[in-house]
Amino acid sequence: MIGLDALGIAAATLPAAVAVHHACDRTEPTRWRNTGFWGIFAVLLGVGPWLPDLGNGCLVLIMVGLATRGLRPSPLAANEPQAQASRASRLGNRLFVPALAIPAVTLTGTLLVDDGRIAGFAAIDPKQVTLVALTLGAGVALLLAMRLTRPPRSAPVAEARRLVDAIGWAMVLPQMLAALGGVFALAGVGKVVADGVVSVVALDTPLVATIAYCIGMALFTMVMGNAFAAFPIMTAGIGLPIVIRQFGGDPAIVAALGMLSGFCGTLMTPMAANFNMVPAAVLELRDRFGVIRVQWPTAIVLLAFNIAVLTLCAFPGGPIR
């Protein structure tokens, strides 16, 4: 049965390919440092579940040491802008086909194989159907892109390395912060947060509890830099015991809109470096907070929308009672 472990192996192919590409580049002065960093990341994604916790922790510390010394790879030669413009003009809107294939395959797979059974055989873990469909969609998109553009066979790996090198160590932030959120949840930080909120605001109606949960998700995400890190803390502290158990909120709606509220916080914080600071550096913007300045009004509107939808749709008896 295809489960989370198999998806981890599939995800590990990207940093593994980047590590091999660095190792083969003899002109790069820091190739072994970069090879080690991305190689270890691939090991953690691919075989981490089978390694002891101490082993995983040691590998993470080695990654931190390599990143601290600096990942400064030699930039790859970019494709000629004129050649790129010529190919783009020739292909036109067909360039969007590979990108659109990802959501199309993901949605189709999720709806058609919702129970994980294919021809009556339990082929996929029902909890991971969407992620398996997403992985399949990425593979289909890659094949379509190769078919449309007909680049050299090494192009996907080379372009993956170019993107990864541009982002640098910040690429691993989502995984690291999500793990940190899990540690905080196990340490009981969620209860501490809930007690602090209750001492300030009386969460005596579904509406007030929803507002506290969604705004708390956004604010905690701004502090942590990642909604996946904030989710277990705020859900364990407010979402699950108060919004869901006490007031009967629909778990699926509460969890989905809680995450979306956290993503609103992602749009407004420099702590989300891989989303907000790295693009400003890659695009060489004069204002390093320029991305955040453009995004925050939209984030506020979306947060208010999430609160409204959750309060109107999640509670059978209504949000004010």
What average pLDDT does the segment 126-149 reach? 89
pLDDT confidence of 28, banded at 50, 70, 90? confident
CA 65/CA 275 separation, integer angstroms: 23
Conformational region of residue 72, where left means phi above 0, alpha means psi within -120 to 50, and beta covers everything else: beta
Tokens of 42: 């691939």
pLDDT above 80 (res 278): no
User: Domain locations in the chain?
Assistant: 81-150, 188-313
From the CA atom positions of the chain, what is the Rg in Å?
22
Find out whether 182 and 223 touch, Cβ atoms under 8 Å.
no
Q: How is residue 245 annotated by DSSP? A: I
Which tokens belong to 115?
């129970």
The CA–CA distances, whole Å, from 188 to 176, 184, 196, 224 equal 19, 6, 13, 16
Q: Residue 199 region, left (φ>0) first, then alpha (ψ -120 to 50), else beta? A: alpha
Tell me the HSE value of 167 on the side-chain side, using a 13 A CA sphere: 19
Residue 167: which of 30, 89, 277 has the closest Cα? 277
Local confidence band at 77 (pLDDT 50, 70, 90 cut-offs): low
Query: Does residue 16 carry a pLDDT above 80?
Result: yes
Model pLDDT, residue 107:
92
So what's the pLDDT on residue 257? Answer: 93
How far apart (Å, rounded) are the C-alpha atoms in residues 60 and 184?
18
Instruction: For residue 117, give the H/E element and its range.
Output: strand 117-118
pLDDT recorded at residue 317 = 63
For residue 229, the model assigns a pLDDT of: 80
Sequence length of the chain is 321
| Dihedral pair phi/psi, residue 271, rounded to 5° | -65, -30
| pLDDT score at 82 | 64
List pLDDT tens digits, range 146-169.
888 888 888 888 888 888 887 777
Report whether 263 contacts 216 (CB < 8 A). no
- Tens digits of per-residue pLDDT, 165-212? 877 777 787 777 777 777 777 777 767 777 777 777 777 888 888 999
Mean pLDDT, residues 83-91 taken together: 69
Three-class SS of residue 111?
helix
Residue 92 burial by Cβ neighbours in a 10 Å radius (0-12, 13-18, 19+)? exposed
Q: Report the C-alpha gap between 294 and 284 in whole angstroms.
A: 16
Spatial distance between the Cα atoms of 189 and 197, rounded to a whole number of angstroms? 12
User: Distance from CA of residue 123 to its chain's centroid?
Assistant: 25
Enter the tokens of residue 3.
Answer: 């489960």
Contact status, residue 15 vs residue 145, Cβ threshold 8 Å:
no
- Greatest alpha-carbon span in the chain: 69
Task: Write down the H helix ranges in the chain.
Answer: 4-24, 31-47, 53-69, 81-91, 96-112, 129-149, 155-167, 173-186, 189-200, 206-224, 227-234, 251-266, 273-282, 290-313
The predicted pLDDT at position 4 comes to 82
Whole-angstrom distance, CA of residue 92 vs CA of residue 209: 49
- Examine the pLDDT at 127 and tell me if it is beyond 60: yes
